[in-house]
Amino acid sequence: MQKIVIVGGTSGIGRYLALRYAAEGAVIGVTGRRAELLSSLKMECPDGRVFTAEMDVSMDDAPQRLLSLVEQMGGMDRLIYCAGYGVNTRDIVVDRELFSVEVNVKGFVKMVDTAFNYFGENRKEGHIATISSIAATKGLGTAACYSASKRFQAQYLEALEQVAGYKHYKIKFTTIQPGFIRTDFIHHKYPMTMDLDYAAKRIFKAISSQRRFKVVDWRWSIVVAVWRLIPRGLWVKLKIIRDGNN
């Protein structure tokens, strides 16, 4: 029986994955900041296979809370990092940008490193996956810190995979880069926006098959391929995504 921890699993993609894996018989650990949403999720899976932990990944005690949850579950085979924060605006507000760093970089590193060391120290086969974004492809002027932090996540997992090789750890790594999905996180109208159910099914499949890297969906794979070909000098002059002030 698989034991899966989903960091940031109270809504959106994380909640979908929690319910899907629970339905398939896995033991699930879910973290989130909102206690009422954690309770609601647990009530939807009343068979005792869902464990929850109220946690803010930006807090210093987050690694200890994660390990405590893993202990309650009786172990962990896979960690999926779904927590994220970002805004869509041309205005650069220092505190807001730094909060993106707290969640998407510092919180991410805390959770991923804790899982990495757990698998390695216990000589246990493991899998670490993160829900990044197509925003990681290029610096987006209306989501500056968000796009940069998502790029960080992808490169950090690439580096950790190299470290795992040095140490002979049996850990698999997956980076998922979805295009725009209709969730509470999206507050503006974006092009080619996907329904949550449509996107989450494809994300679930990519994680379950332990794909190293996956862009969701095929249309966004084409967009990402084109974006990568655009020279920086031209890219910075483009208005790729408009914010709510346009």
Residue 191, in any domain of the structure: yes
**Which two structure tokens, joined as six digits, stand for 238?**
């483009």
CATH number at residue 224: 3.40.50.720
Residue 99, in any domain of the structure: yes
Kindly indicate the confidence band of residue 189, based on its pLDDT and cuts at 50, 70 and 90.
low
Say if residue 23 is exposed, middle or buried (CB neighbours under 10 Å; 0-12, 13-18, 19+): exposed
Residue 164, in any domain of the structure: yes
List the domain range (segments joined by +) for residue 174. Answer: 3-235
Residue 123, in any domain of the structure: yes
> What pairs with residue 214 in β-bridges?
176
pTM confidence score: 0.90
Structure confidence at residue 190 (pLDDT): 66
Q: Which of 219, 214, 217, 215 is nearest to 199 (CA)?
A: 217
Q: Number of structural domains, the chain?
A: 1
Segment 36-55, tens digit of pLDDT = 888 888 888 767 789 999 99
Kindly indicate the confidence band of residue 245, based on its pLDDT and cuts at 50, 70 and 90.
very low
Residue 245, in any domain of the structure: no
Kindly indicate the confidence band of residue 240, based on its pLDDT and cuts at 50, 70 and 90.
low
Instruction: With a cut of 90, say whether residue 191 has pLDDT above it.
Output: no
Instruction: With a cut of 50, say whether residue 246 has pLDDT above it.
Output: no
Residue 17, in any domain of the structure: yes
**Which two structure tokens, joined as six digits, stand for 47?**
């068979």
Residue 244, in any domain of the structure: no
User: Taking the CB of residue 71, how many other CB atoms lie within 10 A of it?
Assistant: 11
Pairwise CA distance, residues 104 & 110, whole Å: 10
Residue 108, in any domain of the structure: yes
Segment 74-123, tens digit of pLDDT = 999 999 999 877 777 677 777 787 888 899 999 999 999 999 999 999 98
